[in-house]
Amino acid sequence: MSAPRTSYPSAQRAGLVACHACGLVSPLVRTGERQCCARCGATLHVRKPDSIARTYAFLIAAAIMYVPANLLPVMHTSSLLGSQDDTIMSGVVYFWTSGDWPLAVIVFVASILVPMLKLAVLTLLAITAQTGSRWRPLQRTRLYRGIEAIGRWSMLDIFVITLTVALVRFRSLAEITAGPGAVAFGVVVVLTMIASMQFDPRLIWDNIESSGKEHE
């Protein structure tokens, strides 16, 4: 694969800044004071402020909450045969062994694989952006786009739980309630969503563009 071009015009190099709220492009005032959009009044930033630090903060919080999300029960089932607490993983095992393997796969992908991938990818992006890495910027940008697209499907799991609750209620006399793990899981989903929102993908290209300019 050929090296990415480094001679694209960029707003930052042209001394311009775009409003994140309405899109109006204004000349950047370099006085160190807060600059507001002339059209809508929003504060203007060349890059999202403290992008990497904020991404790290939400990532660490999400990683911490990932532990109870997987260890605490997400589902409490009580029936005439007794009661049972299920974590995400024991739920997956239960669906798999009882023959509902498509459901097992959906729950595994949506609740275990996707959040873990999101955490890993965002950590990689934050570390490489912080160190000013020039490693595969195009692929890293694609990874960011990928996790942004996946983010919309993170809540899929909640639908699966809802569906299961409805099915089990319909089929038997079991009573199913959500456990504390479900709350932790919801927190993980929201925290990783905010973490990916805080990350500014333009940071991936900044070092490449500036070092590319030096060679020109």
Calpha distance 197→107 (Å, rounded) = 25
37 binding Zn ion? (CB under 5 A): yes
173 near Zn ion (CB under 5 A):
no
Nearer of residues 39 and 213 to Zn ion, judged by Cβ: 39
Tell me how far, at minimum, the Cβ of 198 lies from Zn ion, in Å.
Answer: 20
Is there binding between residue 40 and Zn ion (CB under 5 A)?
A: yes
How many C-beta neighbours within 10 Å does residue 184 have? 20
Smaller CB distance to Zn ion: residue 23 or 146?
23
Nearest CB to Zn ion, comparing residues 42 and 173: 42
Q: Which stretch binds Zn ion (CB under 5 A): 20-28, 54-62, 156-164, 196-204?
A: 20-28
d(C-alpha 17, C-alpha 9), whole Å = 13
Pattern of binders to Zn ion over 42-61, x per CB under 5 A?
Answer: x-------------------
Site size for Zn ion (CB under 5 A): 8
CB of 43 to Zn ion, least distance (A): 9
**Binding segment toward Zn ion, per CB under 5 A, in 31-39, 140-148, 174-182, 187-195:** 31-39
Q: What is the largest CA-CA distance in the chain?
A: 76
Q: Which of 19, 104, 176, 204 binds Zn ion (CB under 5 A)?
A: 19
Point out which span in 3-11, 33-41, 111-119, 130-138 binds Zn ion (CB under 5 A): 33-41
Instruction: Give the residue with the Cβ less far from Zn ion, 22 or 127.
Output: 22
Task: Count how many Cα atoms sit within 13 Å of the Cα of residue 186 in the half-sphere of its side chain.
Answer: 10
Task: List own/partner pairs for 86-89 with CB under 8 A and 24 or more apart.
Answer: 86/179, 87/181, 88/112, 88/181, 88/185
The one-character DSSP state at 10 is -
- C-alpha triplet 114, 207, 127: angle, nearest 5°: 35
* Closest to 111 measured CA to CA, from 68, 157, 152: 157
Which of 18-26, 147-155, 171-179, 185-193 is the region at the interface with Zn ion (rule: CB under 5 A)?
18-26
Mode of pairing for the β-strands spanning 25-27 and 75-79: unpaired
Q: How far is CA 183 from CA 23, 24, 25, 46, in A?
A: 37, 40, 41, 36
- The single residue among 21, 53, 67, 81 that binds Zn ion, judged by CB under 5 A, is 21
Give contact residues for Zn ion (rule: CB under 5 A): 19, 21-22, 24, 37, 39-40, 42
